[in-house]
Amino acid sequence: MQLISENRAFGGRHCRYRHAAETTNCEMTFAVYLPPFASKENPVPVLYWLSGLTCTDENFMQKAGAMKMAAELGMAIVAPDTSPRGEGVADDDNQAYDMGLGAGFYVNATQAPWSSHYQMYDYITKELPALVEANLPVTGEKAISGHSMGGHGALVIGLRNPEQYVSVSAFSPISNPSDCPWGKKALGGYLGNDESAWSEYDASVLLAQKQHYIPLLVEQGRADQFLEEQLKPQALINAAQKSDTQLTLNMHEGYDHSYFFITSFIDEHLQFHASHLGLS
């Protein structure tokens, strides 16, 4: 791990790191917020935050206003990048924002040219937490959250790995990627045309298949410009009802897809995760 930058914030530290990642076969960058008093003698639990299309590790840390509450709760936050990057990493031929760089969709790609680098699911669930836990003052207790494409990633990863995360939350998630333009393009490109392979990365499909006991919290703005065509939160509600899984999904009048929405409710999400991480 190479330290890129470090800044003091709310008595803790915001750090950016770069490392050579085996899963994605390139250098990856991620950000960490460590609350005050986090140390080898006093390790703290971690919330992993997955960002949305076009974002990097920097968006959430700089815009969400999460560090003050994280400092008060004693919670670390880890924010990875949204895709592999660098020379030789495939990108969309037309440089579209919803495929390729900045749009990894948190899947393990099986199709060329994506498969040689776009192994984001393994990076998030295996390599990154192992690296963080080996090098930083954190425990193995983890929660996961995210926004939009990252909300999709958080829900999928949490539902598939309930033994690894104590709680899951999402803001404006792509709830049913098998049935929306963003998801069809990304899953088709990364995984191929066999739609049966897409189901492992579709939160609504996973949620409907069996009853889940991991705590789930979702926020959605009713004024979100992507609500009807891309996000489809009703699919999550239907899936939870089908499997008899407890899901809290809050709809908010007047809120859109931006970080103004996230910063309005991020404290409630941090407190939600803190309650399951044993911090409150």
SS3 per-residue string spanning the chain: CEEEEEEEECCEEEEEEEEEECCCCEEEEEEEEECCCCCCCCCEEEEEEECCCCCCCHHHHHHCCCHHHHHHHCCEEEEECCCCCCCCCCCCCCCCCCCECCECCCCECCCCCHHHCCEHHHHHHHHHHHHHHHHCCEEEEEEEEEECHHHHHHHHHHHHCCCCCCCEEEECCCCCHHHCHHHHHHHHHHHCCCHHHHHHHCHHHHHHHCCCCCCEEEEEECCCCCHHHHHCHHHHHHHHHHHCCCCEEEEECCCCCCHHHHHHHHHHHHHHHHHHCCCC
Query: What is the architecture, at CATH level 2, of domain 2-277?
Result: 3-Layer(aba) Sandwich (3.40)
Q: Would you please indicate which residues are annotated as catalytic (active-site) residues?
A: 148, 224, 257
pLDDT at 222: 98
Confidence of residue 280 (pLDDT cuts 50, 70, 90): confident
Asked if the model's pLDDT at residue 94 lies above 90, the reply is no
**In the chain, pLDDT over 70 holds for what percent of residues?**
100
Structure tokens at 89: 């990493």
- Report the pLDDT averaged over residues 128-147: 98
Confidence of residue 90 (pLDDT cuts 50, 70, 90): very high
- Report the pLDDT averaged over residues 79-102: 95
Cα–Cα distances in angstroms (integers) from residue 274 to residues 45, 161, 209, 222, 243, in the given order: 9, 19, 28, 27, 26
Confidence of residue 93 (pLDDT cuts 50, 70, 90): confident
- Report the pLDDT averaged over residues 69-94: 96
Q: Per residue in 170-207, pLDDT tens?
A: 999 999 999 999 999 999 999 999 999 999 999 999 99
Asked if the model's pLDDT at residue 95 lies above 90, the reply is no
- Report the pLDDT averaged over residues 145-171: 98
Confidence of residue 67 (pLDDT cuts 50, 70, 90): very high
- Asked if 241 contacts 193 with a C-beta cutoff of 8 angstroms, the reply is no
Confidence of residue 149 (pLDDT cuts 50, 70, 90): very high
Mean pLDDT of the residues in the chain: 97
pLDDT at 12: 98
